[in-house]
Structure 1
């Protein structure tokens, strides 16, 4: 898998976004039943500043860029699916990102660290209180995932999430990208963003455990300032998990895979078709090298467009 491309993805409204080297493609099923694909070039800030590709730095860059690209893709999908009249402007997108970050900070930082004070009746030990804060954060995260997974509209997005994972699995396995082949793969993926978020929650427990127990404002500020460190560590762990077949590492990521039973759903064939179109749009146009035994999709004619095969893999599937 070392010679393959970097491909990740994300479920959007009635569609799937796939990201390859320097390009993203968002495929959406319109109300008329047609699949529309928007392809965009992506220039990472790490290309201009190579130091940002170093371990512990690239995780934060990947997280921020994924957030921006994800919101832009969601805006496009909402428009194509008929839920919005127009896409978000840059100003509106910036406001959406800021709102999301503030909301996440309140839900996963301010509330847990504030509530951890309730454990003072047991002990005043700062390490214990920080650990309790971490466990409260993890419980809030799991309850949040469970809660949204029960929403009808979100369940449909989670079906597209499953389609995205299955398609990437098929891609990595070197199988032709057909609906039948894709449906044969698991909807769980070790490099899923759900895995990443769970790892962030777990890593934060240990990183924040030894920060002492100052006043509430100082605790919240310290957590926010150390988020890049937590994201950097978590990103390196998930990259390692995606490449390594070590039994210990694979066992360690099992909770993240189990959590995907909530964040993914078995997709319909029509959803898989959308995911395939999205992935095809980010693949380079090159001929199959016969006899390598490691190719992806055979060249076919479908809907008047050519589907080319490449060998590829994604260090982060979502």
Structure 2
């Protein structure tokens, strides 16, 4: 039996944003810039650079404007997260042309995260997305708790599909669909992404897995078989979610790239340069890097 796999995969690096946002100690701005530069030198062409969020709630992102100003280039897609009107208005003062917004499928998660129900969030974002598209922005919709919620448990697949449908109707370019707490199993990954692929053939579909229960790679493998060729990953496996208790970091970029390369799938990412980029930020992290590839190769 021949497995159906894409020949090439695009990695969307989320380390500088999703990865660092949970670090309690402030990572120096210049170091973040060097980290981003190192990741780009390794061949990363799409990246979440930072978040335009309230510094009161996410102090790590208080240097968002400076990071955005210094990290833009024409080599790929430079994305910033902006969850609401305030954040979007700050984006308009920069030269950024790609924005990520997010909504949780779970009402409870959404209310704990941004104090709004899922529908209230959508109603607020719909005119903003329309405006962004009129201004020729690339818009990425991040779908949190697409499989499981720390408060509501298992999420119905139809609820996730319905939220994705509403986002597609607003005109978004990409759906990044996340297993926020790392509870999904491979059969669930395959089922959801097969349905998404069938229903939205003209939208960029990206899978975002956390490695809480060490199933991120198997879920990525299952999503590959469903035809997905875009994955959010985080260098060093950094990350988590302040509103998802117990959630571990994202799938480690280096582990995912290694697996894909072994499978003969092209990523255009240089693993040695990727390790060098991770070494830049490692001394400033609150927890050790535990990705398999990093532990085996970083200090040889």
Whichever structure has more strand as a proportion of its residues is 2
TM-score, with structure 2 as normaliser: 0.27
TM-score, with structure 1 as normaliser: 0.26
Looking at CA atoms only, which structure, 1 or 2, has the larger radius of gyration? 1
